[in-house]
Amino acid sequence: MPMIDPAAPQPGKPPLWRKVWEFPLVAMIVSLALVIAAIFGSGWLFSDLPKRMDKVSAIAIQGTAATLLVVLVMKYLISRLGRHKQDDFPLAPAMMDWTRGLVIGSGLMALAVGIAALLGVYRITGWGTGRDLVLVLFSAGLVAGFVEESLFRGVLFRWIEEMLGSWGALAITSFLFGFAHFFNDNATVFSSVAIALEAGIMLGACYMLTRSLWLAVGLHMGWNVTQGYVFAVPVSGHPVQGMVRAELSGHPLLSGGAFGLEASVIGLGVATAAGLWLLRRAIAAGQLRPPMWARPKG
């Protein structure tokens, strides 16, 4: 009768190195390293552009390069990691989900601005120069949408959910996303908490509902571009020269102060309500996942 080596992998069972490689925490660390390498790699490749051309063109090329490199890393490298493979940028729903996100994000920001105008804390004072179009489209739109969503939802949410379940992933990524904006211009603790609640829940729920990044990317882009370029409201604390000249006044709880409407109870109420609605839809669709210790084996 042949001797069986107890240390050898048994038929049907993956070897120990594969279990370690596919463990969610390991996959998350590798994914983070890949995304960060893509961001810094694109920055290094095009670091001389501002010296060789005008600032506007340099911003457009750098933003496009960073976005493209991160998306390629997500689609062709990170999608292959972990035990449960997942492509967060599938082509089939891309146009529909991205367009829906743009419409929802733009509509929610228009609603917030409309409420602010009715309450007398937002007022258009004239036509703007529109000179920040490229900055808004590429930095606040393209890069914020694709790169930030890849990092916070495609990497952090995905792997934390594998370990701690949907509620744990939603809580942790919302907190991290909110306080990642703490060092922005004019930021406060309240503005960071507001972004955690309004954007963290809403964008996390988009990811849960669709199990891809297209809806979250579109919503993020629509919200930022409409906020900054259409209504000239500061984007997460950064003033923007948009299509109009506008001013926010009144109590900071209503106006958001220098940070903008994202730090107001208006923005908080509108976006959090939308986020909870999306979250309810995701739960109804069976997309709420338990932590790893509560799942059946196998």
> What is the DSSP annotation of 206-252?
HHHHHSSSHHHHHHHHHHHHIIIIIT---BTTB----SEEEEE-S-H
Structural domain includes residue 252? yes
Structural domain includes residue 239? yes
Structural domain includes residue 66? no
When pLDDT is averaged across residues 207-223 and rounded to a whole number, the result is 98
- Indicate if the alpha-carbon torsion angle 81, 216, 275, 277 is positive or negative: negative
pLDDT value at 4 more than 60: no
| DSSP secondary structure letters along 148-191 | IHIIIIIIIIHHHHHHHHHHHHHHHHHHHHHHTTTTSTT--HHH
pTM above 0.85, yes or no: yes
Question: Look-up: residue for tokens 């309240």?
Answer: 190
- Binned at pLDDT 50, 70 and 90, residue 211 comes out as very high
Q: What is the pLDDT of residue 126?
A: 95
| Amino acid code (one letter) for 60 | A
Structural domain includes residue 132? yes
How far from 256 is each of 115, 172, 184, 188, CA to CA, in Å? Answer: 13, 24, 14, 10
When pLDDT is averaged across residues 87-98 and rounded to a whole number, the result is 96
Structural domain includes residue 116? yes
When pLDDT is averaged across residues 51-69 and rounded to a whole number, the result is 88
Q: What is the pLDDT of residue 54?
A: 82
pLDDT value at 1 more than 60: no
When pLDDT is averaged across residues 3-31 and rounded to a whole number, the result is 79
When pLDDT is averaged across residues 50-56 and rounded to a whole number, the result is 81
The tokens describing 25, both together, are 């925490």
Structural domain includes residue 142? yes
User: Residue 123 forms beta bridges with which residues?
Assistant: 247
Number of domains making up the chain: 1
Structural domain includes residue 32? no
Structural domain includes residue 179? yes
Q: What is the pLDDT of residue 275?
A: 98
Q: What is the pLDDT of residue 43?
A: 87
Q: What is the pLDDT of residue 46?
A: 83
Q: What is the pLDDT of residue 3?
A: 52
Domain of residue 123 covers 87-290
pLDDT value at 10 more than 70: no
When pLDDT is averaged across residues 73-90 and rounded to a whole number, the result is 95
Q: What percent of the chain has pLDDT over 70?
A: 95
Q: Tell me 121's DSSP state.
A: S
> How confident is the prediction for the chain on average, in pLDDT?
93
pLDDT value at 8 more than 70: no
Lowest mean pLDDT of 26-40, 50-64, 214-228, name the range: 50-64
Q: What is the pLDDT of residue 163?
A: 96
Q: What is the pLDDT of residues 103-130, one digit of tens each?
A: 999 999 999 999 999 999 999 999 999 8
Q: What percent of the chain has pLDDT over 90?
A: 82
Lowest mean pLDDT of 10-19, 131-140, 219-228, name the range: 10-19
Helices and strands (DSSP H and E) totals, the chain: 13, 2
